């Protein structure tokens, strides 16, 4: 049975990981957190002193995930999306969070100074949404609000319905 590949993307702190893990548990799709894959395989090309984080080696990440993506049934979670091959995804969900919620979430993760401000600005200017719209067909890119637990429940229900319909239409 064919199953869809889904990309969950958005600014850090919007709820991608929480939603992705819940989706995987309820749909039997496989959840893949790109940050975890990179950490496990040391798929980095350096370290960014300003943001105090490793720099992802995007080519090695793609090589690492290619076989899984070909099989289908994968939920990919990452805060950027323009380096993934367009052919990988059947749908892209960009999670969006109001700045007051996002600020508190990022601050609680230890984000400070420029890293905190740049991520808030990224959300204000819809950077990830615009990246998704320019990287994938417009008809497969959707924005979802991700401010409250109720939003997450609605998003879960909506995406599960989409998955069920996709499976029905493609098998």
Residue 116 pLDDT:
93
Task: Indicate the pairing of strand 44-48 with strand 53-56.
Answer: antiparallel
Where the chain has pLDDT below 50, the residues are none
Residue 52 pLDDT:
85
Three-class secondary structure of residue 63 per DSSP: helix
Do 33 and 100 meet the contact criterion of CB atoms below 8 Å apart? no
- Retrieve residue 61's tokens: 């990440």
Helix pair 113-124, 99-108: axis angle to 10 deg: 150
Residue 43 pLDDT:
98
Do 116 and 107 meet the contact criterion of CB atoms below 8 Å apart? yes
Summarize pLDDT for 97-141 with one digit per residue, the tens.
999 999 999 999 999 999 999 999 999 999 999 999 999 999 999
Percent share of the chain, pLDDT over 90: 98
What size, in residues, is the chain? 171
Residue 51 pLDDT:
85
Vertex 128: Cα angle to 127 and 130 (nearest 5): 65
Residue 69 pLDDT:
97
Cα 10 from chain centroid (whole Å): 6
Mean residue pLDDT across the chain = 96
Do 25 and 96 meet the contact criterion of CB atoms below 8 Å apart? no
């Amino acid at each position: 049975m064919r199953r869809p590949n889904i990309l969950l993307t958005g600014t850090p702190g919007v709820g991608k990981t929480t939603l992705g893990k819940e989706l995987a548990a309820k749909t039997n799709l496989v959840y893949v957190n790109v940050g975890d894959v990179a950490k496990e395989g040391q798929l980095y090309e350096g370290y960014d002193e300003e943001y105090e984080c490793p720099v992802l080696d995007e080519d090695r990440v793609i090589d690492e995930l290619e076989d899984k993506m070909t099989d289908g049934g994968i939920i990919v979670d990452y805060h950027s999306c323009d380096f993934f091959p367009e052919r990988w995804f059947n749908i892209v969900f960009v999670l969006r969070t109001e700045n007051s919620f996002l600020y508190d979430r990022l601050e609680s993760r230890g984000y400070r100074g420029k890293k905190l401000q740049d991520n808030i600005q990224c959300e204000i200017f819809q950077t990830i949404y615009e990246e998704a719209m320019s990287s994938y067909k417009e008809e497969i890119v959707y924005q979802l609000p991700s401010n409250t637990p109720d939003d997450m429940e609605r998003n879960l229900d909506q995406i599960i319905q989409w998955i069920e319909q996709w499976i029905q239409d493609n098998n």
